[in-house]
Structure 1
Amino acid sequence: MTVSAPDTACPVPSAPPPGALHRVGRWCARNARWAIVTWLLVLVTAFAADKVWGGVYEDEFSLPGTTAQQGADLLEEHGSDLKGFGAQIVLEADDGLGAHRTSVEAALDELDRLPDVLTVADPFTTPGAVSADGTIGYATVRFAENPATFDPSYVDQVDEAVADLRDDHVSVDYGGPLGQLARPEAAHGLSETIGLVTAVVVLLIGFGSIAAAGLPLVTAVVGLAGGLAVLGLVAAAVTFGAAAPTLATMMGLGVGLDYALFLTTRHRGLLASGVPPEEAAGRTLATSGRAVLVAAATVAMALAGLYASGVSFIGTLGAAAGITVLVAALASLTLTPALLGLVGHRIDRWNVRPPVAEPGGGDDTWRRWAATVGRRPWLFLVAGLLILGVLSVPVASMRLGHIDAGASPMDYTERRAYDLIAHGFGAGTNGPLTVVVSLDAGRADRDEVANDVRGALSRTADVVSVSDPAPTRDGDLLTSTVVPRQGPEDESTTDLVHRLDDQVLPEALAGTGADAYVTGTTAVQTAFRDAMVNRLPWVVAVVVGAAFLLLLCAFRSLLVAVKAALLNLLSIGAAYGVVVAVFQWGWGGALFGVTERVPVESYVPMMMFAIVFGLSMDYEVFLLARIREEWLETRDNHAGVAGGLAATGRVISCAAIVMTSVFLAFLLSTNVVIKMLALGLGVSVVIDATVVRLLLVPATMYLFGRANWWLPRPLDRVLPHLDPEAPPTALEPGRRREPDAAEESGASA
């Protein structure tokens, strides 16, 4: 009888089942047509719903607790003639407006009959509304709603009302919000088209394959279209600012291209190593797809942090951009693997040059660069910090304010109206202040209060003129118009608003029982600026804290999370510096269509911080994800840094060029605020893809060594695991942990 020997071989551990992302990628590739048809149905449904129920975008915000808001509320409550939204109809006649008085009054009667018009002030009966030489005058029209939000066809009605006046050789221009409505219609889609064309060229040069270049573009466009449709539906319930769709387009298109590009590149690398297309799609989502999720979550969290400003206008702008970012990520994680599965091995069949896929061992050029940094990490660390430090120098002189119509192109009617008023009446007439005095239910003597207020305002520096305080119809308020010496965006005007609020009016009304408030467009803009300055530290704390916790959970490393947050703060400072130098200092501003020096729009630093911090994390996450994979496989820090940089060098460079092109294309916008954001975001991407990624990240990771991946065990037990299938990485200080069997076989997070 033959007795078989007992089997003493160690059992081979079974591989863990595929994770959720792996299964999603494999299913989408295997059922490509179903996934694509589903996306088409979703798009058609979303567009139809947006067409029927979609909302509009308008700049509406309130500043509760500020004197400017309190004054505006009092005017509305007591039925003042100054309630509503004012806009100027600016007139000029070389032979004097008096010679055309009949035509002017007839035109004003026509304007008074237009819908939403509350009152029209006759310049001939309004004190100070006709210039000293009689050639320039303005009629203030007050609207029930903000005319900037009206349909553009409303301008045609205004043009028709003043047509006879123009025929009588009187020039007519529109100022204020009516001038904003009359801006020439921008060439819709021009910036997006330029960004997409640039993306095609960059991707074809970088990878050679037409299909590999086209798939990210298709995914990005579909994701952007879906995101904008969803945004339109949400706008029916939430008030978004007028800049929301532009900002959402910039963000959605930029990150959509990046996310799909990273996934496509990883997929092609797996195909080149012999993995079947469906399995390659699954593995791509299990690795690079996880990085996309972390990156998108970081961007969305940074944008959501704008709600910490306490101003809904700012929070909703962040939410608008966040919607398109999340939809772009969803499209990348479902539509991209479907398209990759549909194309299969034919992805490199059509090409303009020999196709280049992500090498299995990484690009030797990038590996050599990593080795160079590794030999002198201190040198490259200091060099990178010096570059960011120099670029950040202008931040010390940053001046926040509001950009008025004086920065608009010369051929805009709002700019002509602004210049005519400044020429005929002084720059301050473009930004008058309204002083509202509440008489406290009649306890104060009206005439005495009126004399005290007028005298105090007249004696105040930087005040050109003060109108007699006039009572409202119910007699409970007094209103007076104050004309500053300088324009609304001048720093002296901002100081004047503060001085009136804090010193002049309280002293003038001391002991009378009356209260005074400075309101009007210029005062509201000043209050808004103050709110942005006061709340910026809160936004910074919320955004940095949330991103730090997310990275800590994703990479299980204390130093990696701290380093990422600090380096991104430095890169944001450098981007701020460039914006200040170009727009406030005027260094090259004319190249971007800005002919005058302007302050930095008050909410731009806050918006830039949230967006730039989120985008900075994108490249940080993609690079660190590959470094971590190499580290888990080799337990060699130097090899991990070199391998991660080599594996992502080409794709991050191409992605950075593409995203920079998308952002800089929006410099074509005629809106100076959009130009600021476009330049700041474009510069930040360049800084992150070069100085941060090529110098600071590898240098710091070489210097920290194995400490890069240290996480205190108590903290490791408390933090949630974003990827439960990934092997633990926490290391005790001074203790080496040997890789287990799964890690030795090359398992990655």
Structure 2
Amino acid sequence: MAPEGERVVAVVSGRDVNATGLIDSVTRIAFEIRGLSGVAEVDDSYTTGRRQMSTDGQSSLVTVELQPGLSDDEALRVADQVSSALRRIDAPEILVGGGLLAEREFGDQAVRDAALGESVALVCVGILLVLLLGGLVVGLLPLVAALGAVAATLLTLTGLTSLLPVSEYAVNVVTLLGIGLAVDYSLLMIARFREERAADARASVGELIERTVATAGRAVLVSGSAVAAALVGLFAFGDPLLAAMAMGGGLVVVLATAAGLTLVPALIAVAHRRIPARRPERGPGLLARLAGFAQRRPKAVAVATAAGLLALSAPLLSVEFANSDVRVLPRSSEARQAYEATQDKFADPPKQPLTVLVEAGADRPGVTELFDAMEQLPGVSDVFVRSDAPPGVSIADVVPSGAVDGRPAQRLVADLRALDGPAPVLVAGPTAELVDAKRSVGARLPVALAIIIVATGALLFALTRSVVVPVKAIVMNLLTLLATMGVLVAVFQWGWGAGLLGFESWGALDLTTPLLLFVFAFGLSMDYEVFLLARIKEAWDRDGDNDRAVLAGITAAGPVVTTAALAIGLVFLGFVLGDLVPVKEIGVGMAVAVLLDVTVVRGLLLPATMSLLGRWNWWRPGATAAAQASRKAMAGSDAPT
């Protein structure tokens, strides 16, 4: 049961607060609301002792607290009844808000943002693929696979809503991930089919598809497994929202991988005559040119790129995390307008207090002194001791003097819990939830990291038979993520580019953003790593020449990775068009991660470090240098020119 009920807050404006007609109207509506089932308390400027009037005398507040313990549906039903009554107050402007109504607006806005982002992204990606792949049918094949994977995931999630809560925000993120992965896997399969067909024009379609699945399909399977392993790490945090996202993300990864291994080959078999041959390259692709540059100056490039990524991550030193609140809604939101009106027009706007529960009755020695000590703590504005506490407990509402999610309020939670009283002191409320969430994330993060790193490392070892390559891949992915988070701090916390992206900074990042970005960006970065390493490993197995294998692999897979990055970048940027700041954070973060990963990391840092390490890239326990040298000599006679 919640320590106190949800609140509905109305700002009544545009009329002198002392006008007789307004006083009569507010008084009548306040008594009407008190009679509603599910309402615990009504606080206004005329029927209760606390006068809540604006400094200009043109606005007043009405705060309605609902009964604790109501279900979400019941609370929303009562809140709607309260809202309807408040709107009948005789005043020119009435803004109704509160946490419960803001949550509903968040969900509704998330659905609208998803519809806008998906439609724009799919149209733009479709046009891009048609142009880059050279035909309407071949350009639409990846979109068919993406829509199939996403639709199947959403249907499954709909069935799971009876077992666990699935937020609209989770649907947004799952949709974004599903489109990106399905397009990536489809592009890889189509590119390999074209390559196999060009190499053996006499082979039947069935034989070509069999070879495609045996080669590119293996990369798809490893990549999908790596992304799924990363999503499993979200379960380690024990948060229902993250668990729902992990489940939805896991489903979409499995279905996107299955589509890549089954649906896409089937579509290729049906439409193979409409898949044109790959256009002849006019020269090395972007990644091949970057790789060639990096291999000529490996030490300088490795140091410069690593230093640049670390420099981009520097803003993380000042990062602030908080739970999203009404400030992440667009300005058109009534809940946000009501919140801003209370903050701007009133000298002492209402705040969600910290609820302090002492497991001892008010008559127990030391309880009164404990509440007195609370009033003396720094950062405390008021302490209200409840008179209706159940027997054997004492409850007080402690109002912070500053912002409820600021650092002083968070320190206040720790100070309250550290008080020496006659019984344990429990602290609840939004600030305490934020403190506990941060502590929980910090405690569980090592477990999540271990799950992700061990699982992806094992998969990369299975692909490359090397110990060094997986370790290096994980380090490079972490550098990408740190740089991406640094950019997000500068953009969303500091407000750089806020006007361009159409949002207003609220001085922090959503607490779930780094967790989701870590999992999704890590998984997608592993996508490109697997695509490139699979081709590099093939070249290494052919002739054992490290530098030549790296360049050959990047030259072969580079066009696919570049096309996939452009497509998925458009998908992510489509979600920037929405109005919810957390969704914008994910969209911008993923776009930045893909851009950095495909250019700086895969184009420069990967080939530079592989050139520096040489044959040590392929070291594993039990594989001696002499054995590797012998294998190289045996393969040298038929090495490609």
**TM-score normalised by length of structure 2:** 0.90
Q: Is 1:175 the counterpart of 2:90 in the alignment?
A: no
Secondary structure at the aligned position of 2:307 is classed as helix
Residue by residue, what CA displacement relative to the aligned partner does 1:87-143 show, whole Å, maximum 9, x if unpaired? 43343353117742443344345555667x342423245554623656321313325
How far is 1:346 from its partner? Answer: 2.5
CA contact (8 A) 1:252 1:328 kept: yes
CA contact (8 A) 2:404 2:431 kept: yes
CA contact (8 A) 1:434 1:480 kept: yes
Secondary structure at the aligned position of 2:117 is classed as helix
Counterpart CA distance in 1 for 2:86 and 2:54 is 24
Kindly tell me: are residues 178 and 113 of structure 1, through their superposed partners in 2, closer, same or farther at Cα, counting changes over 3 Å? farther
Secondary structure at the aligned position of 1:568 is classed as helix
When structure 1 is superposed on structure 2, of 244-253 and 156-165 the one drifting more is 156-165
Secondary structure at the aligned position of 2:403 is classed as coil
Counterpart CA distance in 2 for 1:520 and 1:465 is 15
**TM-score normalised by length of structure 1:** 0.78
**Equivalent in the alignment of 1:164:** 88
Counterpart CA distance in 2 for 1:177 and 1:699 is 53
**Structure 1 counterpart of 2:379, from 449, 462, 465:** 462
Q: What is the one-letter code of the residue matched to 2:379?
A: D
**Structure 2 counterpart of 1:491, from 407, 416, 434:** 407
**Equivalent in the alignment of 2:351:** 430
Counterpart CA distance in 2 for 1:338 and 1:569 is 36
Counterpart CA distance in 2 for 1:474 and 1:358 is 80
CA contact (8 A) 1:148 1:180 kept: no
Q: Is 1:339 the counterpart of 2:267 in the alignment?
A: yes
**Equivalent in the alignment of 2:194:** 268
Count of aligned pairs: 631
Q: Is 1:682 the counterpart of 2:610 in the alignment?
A: no
Residue by residue, what CA displacement relative to the aligned partner does 1:253-281 show, whole Å, maximum 9, x if unpaired? 11111111111111122223314322221
Matches within 5 A, 1:150-549: 157-165=81-89, 167-169=90-92, 171-182=94-105, 185=109, 186=112, 188-273=114-199, 274=201, 275-348=203-276, 356-357=278-279, 363=284, 367-425=288-346, 429-439=350-360, 442=361, 445-446=363-364, 449=366, 451-467=368-384, 469-472=385-388, 474-502=390-418, 506-507=419-420, 509=421, 513-549=422-458
Counterpart CA distance in 2 for 1:132 and 1:376 is 66
Query: Looking at CA atoms only, which structure, 1 or 2, has the larger radius of gyration?
Result: 1
Secondary structure at the aligned position of 2:350 is classed as helix
CA contact (8 A) 1:660 1:685 kept: yes
CA contact (8 A) 1:663 1:679 kept: yes
Q: What is the one-letter code of the residue matched to 2:170?
A: A
CA contact (8 A) 2:494 2:505 kept: no
Secondary structure at the aligned position of 1:189 is classed as helix
**Structure 2 counterpart of 1:141, from 60, 65, 68:** 65
Residue by residue, what CA displacement relative to the aligned partner does 1:653-710 show, whole Å, maximum 9, x if unpaired? 1101111111121122322222212211111111110111100111111122222222
CA contact (8 A) 1:219 1:335 kept: yes
Q: What is the one-letter code of the residue matched to 1:642?
A: L
Unaligned stretches of 5+ in structure 1? 1-72, 77-81, 349-354, 714-729
Kindly tell me: are residues 363 and 271 of structure 1, through their superposed partners in 2, closer, same or farther at Cα, counting changes over 3 Å? farther
Counterpart CA distance in 2 for 1:399 and 1:570 is 20
Counterpart CA distance in 2 for 1:519 and 1:159 is 27
How far is 1:217 from its partner? Answer: 1.0
When structure 1 is superposed on structure 2, of 139-148 and 699-708 the one drifting more is 139-148
Counterpart CA distance in 1 for 2:617 and 2:67 is 61
How far is 1:424 from its partner? Answer: 4.8
Residue by residue, what CA displacement relative to the aligned partner does 1:339-375 show, whole Å, maximum 9, x if unpaired? 1000122322xxxxxx63587x995775454333222
How far is 1:222 from its partner? Answer: 1.1
**Structure 1 counterpart of 2:629, from 706, 717, 736:** 736
Kindly tell me: are residues 193 and 603 of structure 1, through their superposed partners in 2, closer, same or farther at Cα, counting changes over 3 Å? same
CA contact (8 A) 1:136 1:424 kept: no
Matches within 5 A, 1:718-729: none
Residue by residue, what CA displacement relative to the aligned partner does 1:195-248 show, whole Å, maximum 9, x if unpaired? 112212322332222222111111111111111111222222123344211111
CA contact (8 A) 1:108 1:120 kept: no
Kindly tell me: are residues 300 and 176 of structure 1, through their superposed partners in 2, closer, same or farther at Cα, counting changes over 3 Å? same
**Equivalent in the alignment of 1:696:** 605
How far is 1:517 from its partner? Answer: 1.8
CA contact (8 A) 1:604 1:676 kept: yes
When structure 1 is superposed on structure 2, of 323-332 and 474-483 the one drifting more is 474-483
CA contact (8 A) 2:113 2:577 kept: no
**CA RMSD in angstroms, aligned pairs only:** 3.0
Q: What is the one-letter code of the residue matched to 1:496?
A: L
**Equivalent in the alignment of 1:103:** 25
Residue by residue, what CA displacement relative to the aligned partner does 1:13-54 show, whole Å, maximum 9, x if unpaired? xxxxxxxxxxxxxxxxxxxxxxxxxxxxxxxxxxxxxxxxxx
Q: What is the one-letter code of the residue matched to 2:547?
A: H
Secondary structure at the aligned position of 1:514 is classed as coil
Kindly tell me: are residues 171 and 414 of structure 1, through their superposed partners in 2, closer, same or farther at Cα, counting changes over 3 Å? same
CA contact (8 A) 1:435 1:519 kept: yes
Unaligned stretches of 5+ in structure 2? none
CA contact (8 A) 1:428 1:488 kept: no
